[in-house]
């Protein structure tokens, strides 16, 4: 293998990825990761020779991505709400759409509870990397945030992120809201991005998602609504009289999840909110 200049390595990666039906932008992301450069720095060093060892590991990772491993797992990180989060194959890779869920929660907390500095208890259920819980805690100091996950391996990633980003979040291992029901704890806000892909759609997912991201974080039973239905049994046991529920949902699930919430909380104001791409993505219930 001959030594390459930076621009040659980038050109090779882009064409190799394109030829193999992968996003050619992954080449730039991996190159910046290996060279530890931001975009401007990378483009200012295009004529430099790449050290051979770095070039070899870069090429190796490009091949791994062609084989299906997500770029974020190869780099061990993903950006969310302007911060860098550790990710591994134990957690779902945070998506930009979920940033919109966080914005929706922050806006509704101010509107529903007012801004008098009172501490509000928030629970992020199925926290994964901790992206939602940590972002909420860092964006609003009035929120006392707890986060649960059934998988200890996921909680380890989330705790590493909280420590790295200096976020005050309490983590509990358990199934949905059971840790709070068992201790008879009442909370102001429940937010969750639960598994919502119907079983039959799972096989049709991109191999980058299906073969590498955790099944437990993706599939929501036969209908995709299994976790929302379970929430309807558990939410009344943990919510205070005045509360907010915020869910991320899969495309086409908004009205079904809205109906579940309206049946469980007949007095609530429930709305389906579209994401930036115009797809139903979030459902919010304001109670009391």
Domain ranges of the chain: 6-67, 90-287
pLDDT for 285 = 97
Q: Determine phi and psi for 220, rounding to 5 degrees.
A: -110, 50
Residue 87 DSSP symbol: -
In degrees to the nearest 10, what's the CA dihedral of 78, 73, 175, 171?
A: -50
Q: What is the pLDDT of residue 90?
A: 87
pLDDT of the chain, 288 residues: tens digit per residue: 789 999 999 999 999 999 999 999 999 999 999 999 999 999 999 999 999 999 999 999 999 999 999 999 999 999 999 999 999 988 989 999 999 999 999 999 999 987 666 799 999 999 999 999 999 999 999 999 999 999 999 999 999 999 999 999 999 999 999 999 999 999 999 999 998 887 777 777 777 677 776 777 677 777 789 999 999 999 999 999 999 999 999 989 999 999 999 999 999 999 999 999 999 999 999 999
- Judge whether 187 and 240 are in contact, CB under 8 Å: yes
Whether 42 contacts 32, CB under 8 Å: yes
Q: How many CA atoms lie within 13 A of 226 on its CB side?
A: 15
Pairing of strands 239-248, 120-125: unpaired
Locus of tokens 């929501």: 220
CA distances (Å), origin 234, targets 77, 184, 187, 228, 243: 33, 12, 12, 10, 14
Q: In angstroms, rounded to a whole number, what is the distance separating the alpha carbons of residues 7 and 42? A: 9
Contact (Cβ atoms closer than 8 angstroms) between residue 274 and residue 255: no
What distance in Å separates the CA atoms of residue 225 and residue 229, rounded to the nearest whole number?
6
Who contacts 91 (Cβ-Cβ below 8 Å, separation ≥6)? 128, 129, 154, 157, 158, 214, 217
Q: Regarding beta strands 239-248 and 187-192, do their DSSP bridges make them parallel or antiparallel, or are they unpaired?
A: parallel
pLDDT score, position 228: 95
Residue 3 phi, psi dihedral angles, 5° rounding: -65, 145
- What gap in Å lies between CA 142 and CA 55, rounded to an integer? 47
> 93 with 70: CB under 8 angstroms?
yes
pLDDT value for 214 = 72
- Neighbour-count burial for 154-183, b at 16+ CB within 10 Å, e otherwise: bbbbbeebbeebebebebbeeebbebbeee
From 3.40.50.150, 3.40.50.300, 3.30.9.10, 3.40.50.1000, which CATH number describes the 90-287 domain?
A: 3.40.50.150
What pLDDT score does 116 carry? 63
pLDDT number for residue 80? 96
The predicted model scores a pTM of: 0.90
């Amino acid at each position: 293998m001959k030594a390459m200049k930076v621009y040659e390595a980038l050109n090779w990666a882009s064409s190799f990825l394109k030829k193999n039906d992968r996003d050619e932008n992954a080449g730039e992301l991996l190159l910046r990761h290996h060279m530890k450069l931001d975009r401007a720095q990378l483009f200012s060093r295009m004529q430099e020779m790449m050290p051979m060892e770095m070039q070899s590991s870069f090429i190796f990772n490009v091949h791994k991505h062609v084989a299906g491993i997500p770029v974020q797992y190869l780099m061990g990180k993903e950006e969310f709400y302007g911060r860098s989060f550790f990710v591994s194959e134990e957690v779902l890779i945070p998506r930009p759409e979920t940033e919109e869920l966080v914005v929706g929660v922050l806006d509704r907390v101010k509107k529903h509870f007012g801004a008098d500095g009172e501490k509000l208890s928030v629970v992020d259920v199925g926290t994964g990397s901790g992206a939602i819980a940590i972002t909420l805690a860092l964006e609003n100091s009035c929120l006392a945030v707890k986060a649960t996950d059934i998988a200890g391996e996921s909680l380890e990633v989330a705790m590493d992120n909280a420590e790295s980003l200096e976020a005050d979040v309490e983590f509990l291992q358990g199934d949905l809201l059971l840790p709070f029901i068992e201790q008879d704890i009442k909370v102001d806000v429940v937010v969750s991005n639960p598994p919502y892909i119907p079983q039959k759609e799972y096989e049709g997912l991109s191999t980058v998602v299906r073969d590498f991201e955790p099944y437990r974080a993706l599939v929501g039973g036969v209908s995709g609504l299994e976790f929302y239905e379970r929430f309807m049994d558990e939410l009344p046991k943990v919510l205070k009289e005045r509360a907010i529920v915020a869910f991320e949902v899969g495309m086409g699930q908004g009205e079904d999840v809205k109906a579940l919430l309206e049946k469980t909380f007949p007095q609530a104001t429930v709305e389906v909110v579209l994401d930036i791409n115009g797809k139903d993505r979030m459902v919010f219930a304001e109670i009391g």
